Amino acid sequence: MSFSKTLKLTADALLNAGSIVLASHVNPDGDTLGSALALALALQALGRKAIPLSAHGVPDIYHWLPGAELIQTTSEDRSFDLAVICDAGSLQRVGSAVQSALLSAPRLLIIDHHVQEEQQGWLELRNVKAAATAEVMWLLLREMEKQSGAALLNADIAKCLMAGLITDTGSFRYTNTTPFSFALAAKLQKLGASPAVISDEVYENKSLAAVKLLGAALQKLHIVAGGRIAWSAISAADFAEMQAADADTEGIVAHLRSIAGVQAGILFREIAGKQIRVSLRSREGCDVNRVARVFGGGGHRLASGCTLQPPLEEAVKTLIEEMTQQLPPI
């Protein structure tokens, strides 16, 4: 089915649903939260019941997002007509606290820009060439305006979409940025979303704990594979000492990748007694998504993530071995 036809069917499904539950992926970023909130706000403006969920809540750097106060970590409601996953390709990426609410709906809709090998939802609006799910959501909201005759795009929705666009393009620095990305940014700015203000909120508004975690990660920096891999780990003890949360690690892995000669940066985070979360970032030519998928994760070629089981030392050893094997030939 063509993207344009899927776009029309998706808009029709949303407009004909009276009660919708929307889910962001675990360890939420600006794209999953911004996309989900943009759609939730539009649906509510149309008089629909729309409940946005995020198993890990809303990180402090995204509390400013319009509608952030609407997000719940779980829901006991089971009366939804339609379930929507934003910026993730499967139920496994939304967390167990959210899955039951989504499974209660008779239909599952996925809106995404990640590569997915097999269809997971009843209907999937997916564009793997889009820099962010926010770009897909913009097109969907325009189609919903067309079908409903209502004006949906406003400053609040524009700010949500701009957050997604800025975070997934690294403020338009990443190679996934396209002419469409810049054109959309211009439209969103005209609607009232300032890229300067949003970039400041996301990148220049870190907590003291986040800065301390960065220091701890850099102190424990390791360079392996002939200088091609840089990795570090934040232990449960580090989180406790800094009185920090996993959300405070946002952006640290980019510092690891930024080292000259490094092709892949990897950050391990130990969540006490639960799991080892891993963020992978790479330069063009090095596909970290292949590594993440080995361990049940996913994402993009240059930015992916996965979860491993403790102990931390074994998780590090296993993943670094796989990453070394997957490095492109010199």
Cα–Cα distance measured from residue 54 to residue 72, given in angstroms and rounded to the nearest whole number: 6
Band of pLDDT at residue 117, cut at 50, 70 and 90: low
CB 84 within 8 A of CB 22: yes
- Identify which of 102, 139, 111, 103 has the alpha carbon closest to the alpha carbon of residue 36: 111
The answer to whether residues 164 and 287 belong to one domain is: no
Q: In 3-state terms, the chain is what percent helix, strand and coil (to 5)?
A: 45, 20, 35
Against a cut of 0.75, is the pTM above it? yes
Cα–Cα distance measured from residue 85 to residue 98, given in angstroms and rounded to the nearest whole number: 10
Residue that terminates a domain, selected from 154, 171, 202:
202
The answer to whether residues 10 and 153 belong to one domain is: yes
Residue that terminates a domain, selected from 146, 178, 202:
202
The answer to whether residues 33 and 95 belong to one domain is: yes
| Count of domains forming the chain | 2
The answer to whether residues 142 and 237 belong to one domain is: no
CB-based burial label for 92 (10 Å; 0-12, 13-18, 19+): middle
* pLDDT surpasses 90 at 243: yes
- CATH classification at residue 251: 3.10.310.30
What pLDDT score does 74 carry?
96
The answer to whether residues 128 and 148 belong to one domain is: yes
The secondary structure element, H or E, covering residue 22 is strand 19-23
What pLDDT score does 35 carry?
98
Band of pLDDT at residue 119, cut at 50, 70 and 90: confident
The answer to whether residues 219 and 184 belong to one domain is: no
Neighbours of 49 (CB within 10 A): 15
Given CA atoms 177, 63, 60, 100 in this order, what sign does their dihedral have?
Answer: negative
* pLDDT surpasses 90 at 199: yes
Band of pLDDT at residue 22, cut at 50, 70 and 90: very high
Token look-up 């424990």 returns 220
What pLDDT score does 120 carry?
81
The pLDDT > 90 percentage for the chain reads: 87
- Identify which of 320, 323, 319 has the alpha carbon closest to the alpha carbon of residue 309: 319
Band of pLDDT at residue 252, cut at 50, 70 and 90: very high
* pLDDT surpasses 90 at 3: yes
* pLDDT surpasses 90 at 200: yes
Residue that terminates a domain, selected from 150, 170, 202:
202
Residue 224 lies in domain? 208-326
* pLDDT surpasses 70 at 315: yes
* pLDDT surpasses 90 at 80: yes
Band of pLDDT at residue 7, cut at 50, 70 and 90: very high
The answer to whether residues 164 and 245 belong to one domain is: no
Cα–Cα distance measured from residue 191 to residue 112, given in angstroms and rounded to the nearest whole number: 23
The answer to whether residues 142 and 252 belong to one domain is: no
The pLDDT > 70 percentage for the chain reads: 99
The secondary structure element, H or E, covering residue 299 is strand 298-299
The answer to whether residues 306 and 251 belong to one domain is: yes
Averaged pLDDT for residues 41-66: 96
* pLDDT surpasses 90 at 149: yes
Token look-up 């405070």 returns 248
What pLDDT score does 132 carry?
97
- Identify which of 117, 64, 115, 121 has the alpha carbon closest to the alpha carbon of residue 90: 121
What pLDDT score does 330 carry?
81
What pLDDT score does 25 carry?
94
**Mean pLDDT (the chain, rounded):** 95
Backbone angles phi, psi at 13, to 5 degrees: -65, -40
- Which pLDDT tens digit goes with each residue over 278-295? 999 999 999 999 999 999
Averaged pLDDT for residues 110-124: 85
- CATH classification at residue 70: 3.90.1640.10
Averaged pLDDT for residues 73-99: 93
Averaged pLDDT for residues 216-241: 97
**Best-predicted range by mean pLDDT (155-169, 237-251, 284-298):** 155-169
Averaged pLDDT for residues 236-241: 96
DSSP β-ladder status, 123-126 and 222-224 = unpaired
